[in-house]
Structure 1
């Protein structure tokens, strides 16, 4: 089973996450039209598109809020940016958080942001471009299948289901499992189908994941990183009847898997932080509470500055008082008695005077020597 060596924060039970790719056209225009339609029909309370200077230059952000269930407020943030492959598509990331633990019977946040018409192209997996909530046939080549499954499960954004078709199916058997799931799970599932002859190659491709697909059955892949409490036997379905009837066992397996505690997917922590700390779509009441909070914060800061100023002033006054007391004490002290007579010369002064006497005597001695020498010369003559 694939595991991650990096410790990750767990996904809060109030949070709903999704990620995908808009294949063609301007995703911003599609989102504006769709959100306005949702607001007009009162499916959402309001939405806001952040100005370009409030976000990164290559990212556009939309916020929306609505009420779900028993008047539970949901706030959601969807960001759009150019695709990593440099093509025409745009990648999107959606983070929603409710005031209570998330109920998958609530409407899908993805379905409230994006239009549900069949000709829209927003429902693609960002890494593999597979269609979310629809059936995706596996490649015929076993190595391609292995590479595809390893790449799709990384990141932890989607729930991946692999179904083996025991025999060739008709149109009734082409109904994706997402049609039977609660609304909150329909846009989080990527369903892979293997043809009858692909079972051996499929299980070979899945051996690193630690799971196997029964003949004519299905399995919910653990993903990377795997959620806590995952056991391959608990999420393996022995038989899936592809006759158009509800695959109850598979629906139950997917629903139970979605309820497991899961680490936050790649890049989701930053998106969740942005939703919580950089929220702009405020109601009048929330804006009033926010302004009151700012006033209280500024009042505390002003009080701290005033207290600091008072302490500084008290310290300065205490220093001036201490200096004045010192000066008064110095003036009141008796004067020291002055010594009588000239002060005794210091040793340095005595040495200096000795050298000065030596300099004065030295020329006189030299003149006397010259006079004596002249007398000797005269007498010899």
Structure 2
């Protein structure tokens, strides 16, 4: 892992970001149907599908809604076909609110993807990890039995991750309730940003060996959050370690506190997430009438500023040209007997005379008149 994050932009508190992979057919159709259903029900104000170049394999979707009825949220989802393994379509989703994100707000993921509860069929095609095969957002991800494979999975999951990686150790074999994912108990704003890795009771030594390179350790029967990559300056993994996690269906209060602290701290924004956020801000098309007017006002102001700069440049150019003409005229007015007999272009005295003429133009009032210079030169 990298040890420095000084060259990375910080994760804005107004941002909700997630990246995953859809492994089923026609993901764009799934997104369109989901957005249409939410618009018809009033969950979102509007949505759009901005055009992309004809030769581009990308598909882009925008949606706007109001959290708590007043806070505007703008969200943009991009579908990227994957030819390399794991295959499918990678999706990148960024949503930005007018104020810091509230964990109680609806998950932006379920505004674009079906969750099943709203009556839309959900075959689980969309909640796969973007780069690590076998990982899911809404399920318990049992760690591999092979120690080296376990180490590789945790390392790959943590590398420049958009999501939060949670490692839980089972103190004892859980019952049916305990086998259910803890992420289902999280608030909506956290639910689809957390990947839950689960270590069996006998894997404590192996999982801590696998976590050694990441600089953290999971307590027996507890949990730990994997640090961001690269870790921010002063990052302390002990603040994101939970001594005990009860797998009995009760709310994991201590774990929630650790998660809230983790997402609230200043941490580096992955490069592709920063690019997606810039794209959301700079290429947003789903504007209200007021936003269009404001954009045009800003554009007019920009044109006025550019025109003013051009006018100043024109005036400076005109002034410089006039000064050059005056210098040339002054040079021509020098009496012939004041010039050396050698060729002027190669005579230092002539160059000195021209230099003095230009100095008078640059510093008015400090030089002598043309006739006085001529007398000095005799």
TM range (shorter): 0.7 to 0.9
Deviation of 1:20 (Å): 0.6
Distance 1:285 1:145, change over 3 A: same
5 Å matches for 1:42-191? 42-53=42-53, 57-69=56-68, 71-83=70-82, 85=84, 88-117=87-116, 118-129=122-133, 130-191=135-196
Report the Cα distance in structure 1 between the residues aligned to 2:132 and 2:32, rounded to whole angstroms. Answer: 26
Structure 2 residue aligned with 1:332: none
Structure 1 length-normalised TM: 0.77
Deviates more, 1:249-258 or 1:290-299: 290-299
Distance 1:304 1:166, change over 3 A: closer
Structure 1 residue aligned with 2:223: 218
5 Å matches for 1:242-321? 242-302=247-307
1:21 paired with 2:26, answer no
Structure 2 gaps, min length 5: 117-121, 334-378
Q: How many residues align?
A: 329
Deviation of 1:255 (Å): 2.0
Q: Deviations over 1:266-307 (max 9, x none)?
A: 311211111111111111111122223333433444555566
Distance 1:178 1:228, change over 3 A: farther
Q: Deviations over 1:161-209 (max 9, x none)?
A: 1111122222110222212212110000000111111111111111112
Q: Is the 8 A contact 1:156 1:225 kept in 2?
A: no
Deviation of 1:21 (Å): 0.6
State the secondary structure of the residue aligned to 2:64: strand
Distance 1:64 1:228, change over 3 A: farther
Q: Is the 8 A contact 1:228 1:260 kept in 2?
A: no
Deviation of 1:93 (Å): 0.8
What's the RMSD between the two structures over aligned residues? 2.9
Deviates more, 1:317-326 or 1:233-242: 317-326
Structure 1 residue aligned with 2:39: 39
Structure 1 residue aligned with 2:363: none
State the secondary structure of the residue aligned to 2:178: helix
Structure 1 gaps, min length 5: 330-381
Report the Cα distance in structure 1 between the residues aligned to 2:329 and 2:180, rounded to whole angstroms. Answer: 96
